[in-house]
Amino acid sequence: MSGSWGFVDVASLVFLAFAVPVFLVLLRVPAPYGRHARSGWGPAVNPRAGWALMEAPAALVMPCWFLAGSGWEATTAMAFLLLWEFHYAYRAFVYPLTLPPGARRIPLIIVAFGFLFNVVNASLQGLALFAKTSPRDASWLVDPRFLVGTALFFGGLVLNRRSDATLRRLRVENDGYRIPEGGLFRYVSCPNYLGEIIEWLGWAVATWTLAGFAFAAWTAANLTPRALAHHRWYRERMADYPRDRRALIPWIL
Ligand code: NDP
């Protein structure tokens, strides 16, 4: 599959380029789910089914590329697959079950877009990592890029999951929205999104591929506008919302 190298690089650049208009559109039009749900976006589905359907391709497509590529020979390939599944096996098959029974329905258009994104992205990541004629040898596992990237990945993952758990507890105790407290919520409105962005930045550094950096950019392009919209929403509706709390990055944004 030596020819796929050129293709993956070009495809990653095109993918990266698409993140720019998506970012600009989302700054003006928040994705219509959760607290930003509104009429006019078509039919909506059960949120548990919606999240599972949207995220399952990422969890399932990656192992296919792993099996089709050089996975069995390379320890590094196994490490990349494990990192990926640490996130996506949870997101696709566990996270939907943690949603509270009264969680809002999710528009089908969001599910369709998420599904498509995950098929394309997991294929790009899989091709970049596993469809190489000379896979990274085991020395990559002690390369500073892999070590720093993996540390960022798990740091982001812990922040993301802990913050999501705080939000979940709020919802269990109360029907509506309340001011989240504790942890990084002291400083920002959306530490769950900050954790997710750090996680995929870590992935980009650990894998050191253009595809990995394109995915990290997409995550930031998607979640930064959503964090700004959440922050605005809190400030407009909650008179006692802490004034010194920022949207996404402590003291900065
Ligand atoms: P939100 O923070 O909008 O909501 C998470 C859950 O917590 C929802 O059930 C929400 O209810 C509830 N909730 C949020 N704030 C409050 C509050 N103040 N009081 C009570 N309940 C609250 O996250 P998303 O749904 O956008 O994302 C969920 C996960 O998916 C996150 O971990 C995120 O990082 C990840 N994600 C990743 C993306 C990527 O590009 N990689 C894209 C989108 C999400 P309700 O739904 O009713 O608002």
Task: List, for residues 145-154, the tens digit of each pLDDT value.
Answer: 999 999 999 9
Residue 33 sits at the vertex; the CA angle it makes with 32 and 34, to the nearest 5 degrees, is 135
Distance CA(132)–CA(140), nearest Å, equals 15
In a mutational test of the pocket of ligand 1, which residue from 196, 197, 245 has the highest number of ligand atoms less than 8 Å from its CB? 196
CB of 78 closer than 6 angstroms to any ligand 1 atom: no
Provide the 3-class DSSP secondary structure of residue 106.
strand
Distance CA(73)–CA(135), nearest Å, equals 9
Name the residue with tokens 């650990």: 206
Q: How confident is the model at residue 22 (pLDDT cuts 50, 70, 90)?
A: very high
Distance CA(172)–CA(34), nearest Å, equals 16
Model confidence at 1: pLDDT above 60: no
CA of 124 to the centre of ligand 1 (A): 26
pTM of the model: 0.96
Q: How confident is the model at residue 4 (pLDDT cuts 50, 70, 90)?
A: very low
Q: Which atom of ligand 1 is nearest to the CA of 174?
A: 20
CA of 167 to the centre of ligand 1 (A): 8
Distance CA(121)–CA(219), nearest Å, equals 11
Distance CA(229)–CA(248), nearest Å, equals 11
| Reduced DSSP (H G I as helix, E B as strand, rest coil) percent helix, strand, coil of the chain, to 5 | 70, 0, 25
User: How many C-beta atoms lie closer than 10 Å to residue 218's C-beta?
Assistant: 19
In a mutational test of the pocket of ligand 1, which residue from 54, 117, 177 has the highest number of ligand atoms less than 8 Å from its CB? 177
Distance CA(93)–CA(82), nearest Å, equals 16
CA of 8 to the centre of ligand 1 (A): 31
Of 173, 36, 53, residue with least CA distance to 104? 36
Model confidence at 191: pLDDT above 60: yes
